[in-house]
């Protein structure tokens, strides 16, 4: 990315990341991606522990170690609390001989509200696009490294849905599940992948990242 090098990290808890650094990237427009909200979910037991939501937030750092982008992110051991119902996918994947769980998910737990998932702070539009691409690539890297079935991004805003449609293909399924308060049903956009089991027939087209 124009010579820029980024270090990709997985944070096992939001507490592992300074609130000021996270909120600088998340901004103030959406409270559900704030450090305080994600910490409240962890502290209250809604995520972490035996909840089936293992925090593994994605973080990009520059060469000096400064956080430049982040993504609320979890290792999911079930599909509850997402308000995106993929149980039929899980059942079909299991019947085909695979293990659907655990899966990777970027979402806000128990919060069916459209909002940012690629957190890039006040980066310029060009830089923000590069950072989003790096985060998406990081998801696919960990997907392969952990040998998981699929990765999902829920309730993306329109700008990020457009980005997802125009990104680069990934070697494993990465499914962007979109919704907004104005929509009467959830819009699911499937990604080009080698696993047809993760390509729903009701999708609006391919959206590789």
- What mean pLDDT do residues 50-70 have? 96
Per-residue pLDDT band for 140 (boundaries 50, 70, 90) equals confident
Per-residue pLDDT band for 184 (boundaries 50, 70, 90) equals very low
Supply the pLDDT for residue 87. 86
Q: What is the DSSP string of 110-147?
A: T------SSB-TT--HHHHHHHHHHHHHHHHHHHHHTT
Reported pTM: 0.79
2-11, 83-92, 121-130, 151-160: least confident range? 2-11
Structural domains for the chain:
7-198 (3.40.630.30)
Give the tens place of pLDDT for each residue, 81-125.
999 888 888 898 889 998 999 999 999 999 999 999 999 999 999
Supply the pLDDT for residue 196. 20
- The position carrying tokens 């400064």 is 66
Task: Give the closest residue to 13 by CA, choosing from 44, 36, 38.
Answer: 38
- What does the alpha-carbon distance between residue 109 and residue 8 come to, in Å, rounded to a whole number? 23
Share of the chain above pLDDT 70, in %: 75
């Amino acid at each position: 990315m124009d010579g820029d090098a980024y270090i990709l990290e997985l944070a096992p808890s939001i507490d592992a990341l300074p609130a000021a650094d996270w909120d600088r990237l998340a901004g103030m427009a959406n409270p559900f991606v704030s450090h305080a909200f994600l910490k409240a979910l962890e502290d209250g037991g809604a995520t972490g522990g035996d909840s089936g939501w293992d925090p593994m937030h994605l973080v990009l750092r520059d060469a000096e170690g400064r956080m430049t982008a982040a993504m609320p992110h979890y290792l999911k051991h079930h599909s509850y609390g997402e308000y995106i119902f993929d149980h039929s996918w899980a059942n079909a994947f299991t019947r085909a001989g695979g293990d659907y769980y655990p899966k990777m998910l970027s979402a806000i737990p128990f919060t069916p509200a459209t909002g940012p998932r690629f957190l890039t702070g006040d980066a310029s539009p060009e830089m923000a696009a590069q950072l989003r691409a790096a985060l998406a690539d990081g998801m696919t890297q960990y997907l392969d490294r952990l040998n998981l079935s699929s990765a999902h991004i829920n309730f993306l805003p329109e700008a990020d849905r457009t980005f997802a449609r125009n990104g680069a293909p990934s070697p494993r399924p990465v499914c962007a599940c979109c919704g907004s308060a104005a929509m009467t049903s959830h819009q699911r956009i499937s990604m080009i992948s080698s696993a047809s089991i993760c390509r729903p027939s009701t999708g609006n087209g391919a959206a590789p990242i």
